[in-house]
Structure 1
Amino acid sequence: MKKLIIFFMFLVIHLVYSQSKIYAFVGKKISVERVDSENTFYLKYKNVYKVEQAFDDELKSDTLTFNSYTHMNQIQYSVYDYAIIYLVKNETGKLIHKRTYYTPIILKQNDKWYGFDASEENLDEYQKIEQKELHIRKNLKIGRLVFQEKIKNKWLLKTFYPEKFFTKTGRNKVKIKYLKPAEKLYQSN
């Protein structure tokens, strides 16, 4: 009986959180800073992002300030200058980024945003990007701050710029191989 009650509690919690409306946008990072948390179980970050493209009509502001909560000191989306950020409203109606879901956005070309989802195996909807090289020194430096252990650039490069989407061309440079339009990335999440 006790196991059945616990099962139903998890089911209710899952349904409540899975039914939350998601507010998504392509954002340009202005700042991400750790702030004092009211809950010792979570780390809290204050984020300020410029809204480049909203996927929801309710996001009317050109700049959003929201908090992120995580158990670890790993706000990985802060490594990228642009990302699709997925927000929900908390009990008081404020937008928050509770589980730090994001999709990296790498390029704007012909007024369209492009990025990648590292978990995707199928590259059918991805487009080949010709001769576009990125300088990522600043991004790798932020990656070293996110992961405070001593980590080699090689690991950071593979983590944030996976080989199926990028080719390493220098110590702090990668060449884009494949990216997907932001609208399709948003629809698949």
Structure 2
Amino acid sequence: MKKTIIFLLIICVNIVYSQSKIYAFIGKKISVERVKPDDHFYLKYRNVYKVEQVFDNEIKTDTIIFNSYTHMNQIGYSVYDYAIIYLMKNNSGNFIQKRTYYTPIILNKDGKWYGFDRSDETIQDYESITAKNLHISKNLKTAKVVYPELKKRKYLIKAFYPSLFFNYVNKNSIEIKNLKTAENLYKEKVKEIFSKKN
């Protein structure tokens, strides 16, 4: 009897979570600002992004405004100029970001977007990119605000531009080594998000 009840509970949880839809898009950051929260449990951020590519037909605008909610003052996605942002809808039908899931997007080459997942530990399924330098001083300035404890540039570069995917050039520049297509990154992240829910 106990096993039957546990089995039914698992089925119910899976049904509820399978109805949670994820809406994703590649966005160019326009602004990310901290605003007054709805409660004392979460920090709230108001985000404005230009929509560069959608992974879902429900995002129909060229600019999207959404709120993010997090327990920590660590909005890592704001460091990058471009990112895949993963949203849900609240009870009012508005896009929100309950957990700050994102994937950094670094390059648009021949009309295709490329990025990386900082949690990846190998470059399997990544493409070797012909050397291309990125000027990242503006991004590192944002990173310093997001992670004030990482005072030195080399620590910020290591945190946001891992050596598996980039080569250090100088204190303001890095060179791309390996990136993955946005479509593959999107599929993997959605799978990861749903596996964490179950």
> Relative to structure 1, is the Cα distance of residues 13 and 32 closer, same or farther in structure 2, using a 3 angstrom cutoff?
farther
Unaligned runs of 5+ in 2: 190-198
Q: Secondary structure at the match of 1:158?
A: helix
Normalised by the length of structure 1, the TM-score is 0.90
Aligned sequence identity (%): 61
Shift of 1:62: 0.5
Amino acid at match of 2:62: D
> Relative to structure 1, is the Cα distance of residues 108 and 158 closer, same or farther in structure 2, using a 3 angstrom cutoff?
same
Shift of 1:16: 3.5
Shift of 1:38: 1.1
Shift of 1:11: 9.0
Indicate whether 1:164 and 2:168 are aligned.
no
Q: Give the corresponding residue for 2:103.
A: 103
Superposed, 1:142-181 pairs within 5 Å as 142-149=142-149, 151-181=151-181
Q: Secondary structure at the match of 2:144?
A: helix
Unaligned runs of 5+ in 1: none
Shift of 1:13: 6.5
Shift of 1:155: 1.1
CA deviations 1:36-65 (Å, max 9, x no partner) are: 011111000000000000000111000000
Shift of 1:26: 0.4
> Relative to structure 1, is the Cα distance of residues 43 and 10 closer, same or farther in structure 2, using a 3 angstrom cutoff?
farther
Shift of 1:124: 2.5
Distance 1:141 1:11 in 2: 47
Shift of 1:147: 1.4
Amino acid at match of 1:84: I
Distance 2:60 2:139 in 1: 29
Instruction: Kindly report structure 1 stretches of 4+ aligned residues shifted beyond 4 Å.
Output: 8-15
Distance 2:67 2:187 in 1: 24
Indicate whether 1:132 and 2:132 are aligned.
yes
Q: Give the corresponding residue for 1:52.
A: 52
> Relative to structure 1, is the Cα distance of residues 136 and 14 closer, same or farther in structure 2, using a 3 angstrom cutoff?
farther
Shift of 1:14: 7.6
86-95 or 13-22, larger mean C-alpha shift: 13-22
Root mean square deviation of aligned Cα: 2.0
Superposed, 1:1-189 pairs within 5 Å as 16-17=16-17, 19-149=19-149, 151-189=151-189
Shift of 1:17: 4.6
> Relative to structure 1, is the Cα distance of residues 48 and 162 closer, same or farther in structure 2, using a 3 angstrom cutoff?
same
